[in-house]
Structure 1
Amino acid sequence: MMKYILFVFALALTIGAKAQDAALQHTPKGALYQIFTHAPGDKVKEGDIITFQYIQKTDKDSVLYSTYVSGRPGQARIQPSQNLADLMEVFPLLAVNDSVLVKVPTDSLFKGHEESRPPFFPKGSFLKFFIKIQKAQSMDVFMAEIKQAETDGANKYIADHKLTLQTTASGLKYVITKQGTGIKPQNGDTVLVNYAGRSLDDKVFDSSIEAVAKQAGLQQPGRTYEPLVVYVGLAGTEHSVITGWNEGLLLLNEGSKATFVIPSNLAYGAQGSGEIKPFSTLVFDLELVKVKPAKKTPAVTKAPAKKTPGKTTGLKKEVATKKN
């Protein structure tokens, strides 16, 4: 009897799954999808930046990733589909507040590199996405919103820390907390700098000072804690630094201490770097320990050209000819 009941239950699940699959539609590249809501308003279009929540699951409903858990919604720019997994065939079918289930066949994902297929994605299985569109914006509106959020965050940090800063034409904000008495660096000079870098949530992400690094719990195995060597104004070298540093260091005398509040366009921009998120304003407390002026190449003075006796040149020659 129990075997019969289990058989009926399994059959019901199979029929239910098949009925659900029958409701799914196919994209040209072979993904399956079902739109659960049809919100009013325009569909997202090519060039839009969308913000969306999503959950990734296996066929057996094991959660692989959830933006609801991570607290970071997904974002993407709508463009022509390059592959089955980019979901660009499905996004243009949706409006803001629409929800959709997308099933991507894993056979297509691991085609040509079966050795990478994990055991929870057997042949014939699907990677499932449950997606809800939250926002669709043009690039201009998206960038304006990003910049405003960055500005608001920086202003809040400055107000909370009661900083009185000067601002350069490029947007670098700084305050000299200790005025040094040494020389100022010039482009091409080598300088030694101690520093601690922070995000706007006051989290230290890097420091050349051991006590600061340890207090912040930084894991920097093999790091030698000593002043950083910087070639001021020289991009693309081992010791080159972000634009905000290059500009700010030129404002300081040797021995000075300062705080720089550096907007993302003078730091790591839209790409970010490591744990530094895109469009992040950064805060640096630093000390200009030493300035080593670049070696100057002595100017070469040309010897005056020797004149050949009896010859004239230019205007003098023409005048001499007229006299004859």
Structure 2
Amino acid sequence: MKKYLLYILITAFAIKANAQNGFQRTAKGTQYQMLTHNPGDRIKVGDIVTFNVVQKTEKDSVLYSSYQMGKPVQMQVQAAGDLMDIMPLLTVKDSVLIRVPTDTIFKTQEDKRPPFLPKGSNLFFVLKVEKIQSLAEAMAERDKAVEAAKAEAAKMQAQEGVNTDKYLAEHKMVLTTTASGLKYKITKAGFKPKPLKGDSVYVNYIGHTLQGKVFDTSIESVAKAVGLQQPGRTYEPINFLLGAKGVIPGWEEGLLLLNEGSKATFVIPSKLAYGANQAGPDIPAFSTLVFDVELVKVVRGSHPAAAVQKPVAKSTVKHTVAKKTLTTKKKQ
């Protein structure tokens, strides 16, 4: 951050200093001022260039910064355009200040001119070249990065399985596993029909990681007990339509296994949750998630009469539960 702020200050100083001095022009009229110039091979048409860029107004307001975004820009040099007019002048680690009159930008679309770019004003771009590659070199680098990412993902997935097995052993949990990999156990059997896709369901839940960190709940007393901050949250069963893909796949599958009124624990592998994506500060990539859920209510959608399950007779409940368990779901 300090490095970024220092660069912004230097950039602002350069713009003010050079605004008073003459800019050079390319053959096509692009205005530029070299800030740093290094020896070496210049950029050629067809090269892949990686560069950082800061876009500012005359009053030093930053409109865009690749430094702030945390990722430089990468593009292939073509034969046309203002930037492409400048690129062949540069080599690695060169910095250049480019001035673009806003009147040329909004010449045919004056109605789209924002108030902070009045007539007669300029936009300034400060570019710093970080890397120059041929197309073949850039593609080879990309392929290498893809393979490295695949290897890292495989490693993390393997570790996820180890962590899940350890969690189940430590908590002496015996669960049923579905073909998809969802693990579940019914902790309280309900006697009303199971939901179907197209039904609306109301669910209370507590979601936590294998490390025991509660990251979400619909129950206020639980949130207070664990110090979970959910500003503006209304604590009540969440409501959503099954089959609409509004929740993670593990929830979709698990809730279809539960009779209304049931409670269950779901252990949901990352492939049925958020996969390789991080979901907030408490859920890293490839995280198995644990949910304690209660299927509070089912509101029927439109189904053929034969599709709706009849209530389970109490005399058969113990036998049914002994053979089969249900799964829980996590809110997205």
How high is the TM-score relative to the length of structure 2? Answer: 0.50
Asked if structure 2 preserves the Cα contact closer than 8 Å seen for 1:188 and 1:231, the reply is yes
Once the two structures are superposed, residues 82-116 of structure 1 have per-residue CA deviations (whole angstroms, 9 ceiling, x without a partner) of 987xx6x4798699965443525250455524652
In structure 2, the gaps of 5 or more residues are: 1-16, 169-174, 307-332
Instruction: Summarize the alignment of residues 149-160 of structure 1 with structure 2, pairs less than 5 Å apart.
Output: none
Secondary structure of the 2:197 match is coil
Match among 115, 120, 123 for residue 123 of structure 1: 120
Match of 2:231 in 1: 219
Give the number of the structure with larger relative contact order, counting CA–CA contacts within 8 Å between residues 6 or more apart: 2
Q: Are the aligned partners of 2:266 and 2:292 in contact in 1 as well (CA < 8 Å)?
A: yes
Q: State the alpha-carbon separation in 2 of the partners of residues 192 and 180 from structure 1.
A: 16
Alignment of 1:20-99 (within 5 A): 21-22=23-24, 25=26, 30=30, 32=32, 36-37=37-38, 53-59=52-58, 66-68=65-67, 72-74=70-72, 89=84, 98-99=93-94
Corresponding position: 1:228 with 2:226? no
8 Å contact kept, 2:187–2:263: yes
Q: Are the structure 2 counterparts of residues 249 and 142 from structure 1 closer, same or farther at C-alpha, using a change threshold of 3 Å? A: farther
2:320 matched to which residue of 1? none
- Alignment check: 8 A CA contact 1:244 1:267 kept: no
1:245 to 248, 251, 254: 251
Quick one: structure 1 residues 81 and 74, their matched pair in 2 at CA, closer, same or farther if it must change by over 3 Å?
A: farther
Q: Percent of pairs identical after alignment?
A: 25
Paired AA for residue 110 in structure 2: G
Amino acid at match of 1:116: P
Question: How many Å separate the matches in 2 of 1:249 and 1:45?
Answer: 54
State the distance in 2 between where 1:289 and 1:37 align. 66
Cα deviation digits, residues 286-317 of structure 1 (max 9, x gap):
33311638464235xxxxxxxxxxxxxxxxxx
Give 5+ residue unaligned stretches, structure 1: 1-12, 300-324
> How far 1:260 sits from its partner (Å)?
2.9
Contact 2:209 2:290 in 1 (8 A): no
Partner Cα distance (2:97, 2:176) in 1: 51
Shift of 1:52: 5.1
1:101 counterpart = 2:93? no
Of the three residues 256, 262, 265, the one matched with 2:264 is 256
User: How far did residue 226 of structure 1 move?
Assistant: 1.4
Say which one has the larger Rg.
1
Check 1:153–1:256 CA distance in 2 against 1; reply closer, same or farther (3 A cut).
Answer: same
Q: Distance in 2 between matches of 1:247 and 1:17?
A: 67
SS at match of 1:226: coil
Spell out, residue by residue over 1:224-268, the C-alpha distance to the aligned partner (whole angstroms, 9 max, x if none).
221212322234xxxx334453245446673112343435x9659
- Asked whether 1:181 is paired with 2:176, we answer no
Q: Distance in 2 between matches of 1:225 and 1:93?
A: 60
Contact 1:198 1:283 in 2 (8 A): no
Q: Taking structure 1 as reference, are residues 69 and 122 closer, same or farther at Cα in structure 2, changes over 3 Å only?
A: same
The letter of the residue matching 1:192 is: Y
Give the counterpart of 1:286 among 291, 296, 299. Answer: 291
**Equivalent residue for 1:192?**
202
- CA separation of 1:112 and 1:208: change in aligned 2, threshold 3 A: farther
C-alpha separation in 2, matches of 1:109 and 1:68:
24
Residues 90 and 82 (structure 1 numbering): CA distance in 2 closer, same or farther, change over 3 Å? closer
The CA distance in 2 between the partners of 1:205 and 1:94, in whole Å, is: 52
Match of 2:218 in 1: 208
CA deviations over 1:1-46 (Å, ceiling 9, x no partner): xxxxxxxxxxxx569832xx32x647x7957585845777997969
State the Cα RMSD in Å. Answer: 5.8
Question: What amino acid is aligned across from residue 251 of structure 2 in structure 1?
Answer: W
Closer, same or farther: CA 268–282 of 1 in aligned 2, 3 Å: same
**Distance verdict in 2 for CA 1:57–1:257, change over 3 Å:** same
Q: Residues 263 and 294 of structure 2 are in contact (CA less than 8 Å); yes or no, is this contact kept in structure 1?
A: yes
Amino acid at match of 1:256: A
Aligned residues: 263
